[in-house]
Amino acid sequence: MFLVILIKGANYSIKYSSRLAKILRFPEFVVSFFIIAIISVLPEATISIISALNGEPGLGLGTLLGSNVADLTLVFGIVALFSSKGIKVKSKILRDNIFCLALLLFPLILGFDGKFSRIDGLILLLAGILFFVKIYREKSRFKKEFNHTQKSSFLKNFLLLILSLSVLLVSAYFTVKYVVDFASSAKIPSVLIGITIVALGTCLPELVFSIKAVRKNRYELALGDILGTVITDATIVLGIVALISPFEYNPMNIYITGGAMVLAGICSMIFMKTDKTINKIEGLLLILFYILFVFVEFFMNQIG
């Protein structure tokens, strides 16, 4: 129940942050990377940070990396299927592909030894900040702005955004509590619950938002939201978790989940470069990739 409330809170947060962006007349792609992506990342971010504070950082790791795999495969795939002619990718997004992929490698490289230290967390945090600074400096390339909205609604939307974020934080706390209790009673590793059930649930805000965006031909919003969320999860949020509570885990988790995240990123970027569109067939392939990933995770955790 609390996961459902968490998702609804994130959806309303995206709704009101988007309205604020319209009022301030920000460029669409930058808004999607900075505002909407950061709001979208809050469900897994709050779950991961609360997990770290409660001594369950493994749940946070599984949620973050698992949601990234889902975003790069399942979310991209479903959005492509719901679009009329696939997700159109503009050249200015393609230029940053290598940089995005390099950032996705950071968790895999730093966590290859089966632990994340505070030094690792600091490196991840700085890498994520560097990425957003880079995007901000290139904001002049993204000319398209939201349509104008009445400025008188600024205060109302701001207060509703704060309320939505408050609901999101409270529901995240109880989601972590009940997931940990369930994993303990069912004798299932909490990291596996995070990789599958929780990660899938936390992806719903960006899925819903991106589907709405592509149906209105707002491809930059959809791509910026998904890619911005993935980069934020893999660097800034994971870095904060490690800074709060350095932790160790079964290295197999990072090998499989982190490797799947990088591979999913490579597949997504390749599809983006083909005709500058993620078409419906490529979307279906990405969905099949996610299904295979879930099967491998369950199989390897059963062996372990």
According to the model, what pLDDT value does residue 161 have? 73
Average pLDDT, integer, range 218-235: 81
pLDDT digits 0-9 by tens, 12-51: 766 776 676 667 666 655 665 666 667 777 777 877 888 7
According to the model, what pLDDT value does residue 134 have? 79
Instruction: Return the number of other C-beta atoms located less than 10 Å from residue 191's C-beta.
Output: 25
Q: Are 102 and 235 in contact (CB under 8 A)?
A: no
User: b/e for 18-38, b at 16 or more Cβ within 10 A?
Assistant: bbbbbbeebbbbbbbbbbbbb
pLDDT digits 0-9 by tens, 158-184: 787 778 767 766 776 676 666 667 766
Residue 64: name the closest of 4, 30, 99, 106 by CA: 106
pLDDT digits 0-9 by tens, 247-282: 887 788 788 889 999 999 999 888 888 777 888 999
According to the model, what pLDDT value does residue 287 have? 94
Structure tokens at 277: 């569109």
The CATH number of the domain holding residue 207 is 1.20.1420.30
Dihedral sign of CA atoms 208, 212, 218, 219 in order = positive
pTM more than 0.85: no
According to the model, what pLDDT value does residue 156 have? 79
Domain encompassing residue 97: 2-143+151-303
According to the model, what pLDDT value does residue 116 have? 93
Q: Are 9 and 167 in contact (CB under 8 A)?
A: yes
pLDDT digits 0-9 by tens, 125-152: 999 998 888 777 765 555 555 554 455 4
pLDDT above 80: residue 303:
no
Number of domains into which the chain is organized: 1
Q: Are 112 and 254 in contact (CB under 8 A)?
A: yes
pLDDT digits 0-9 by tens, 70-105: 999 999 999 999 888 888 876 555 555 677 788 899
According to the model, what pLDDT value does residue 105 have? 92
Q: Are 239 and 125 in contact (CB under 8 A)?
A: yes
Q: How confident is the model at residue 2 (pLDDT cuts 50, 70, 90)?
A: low
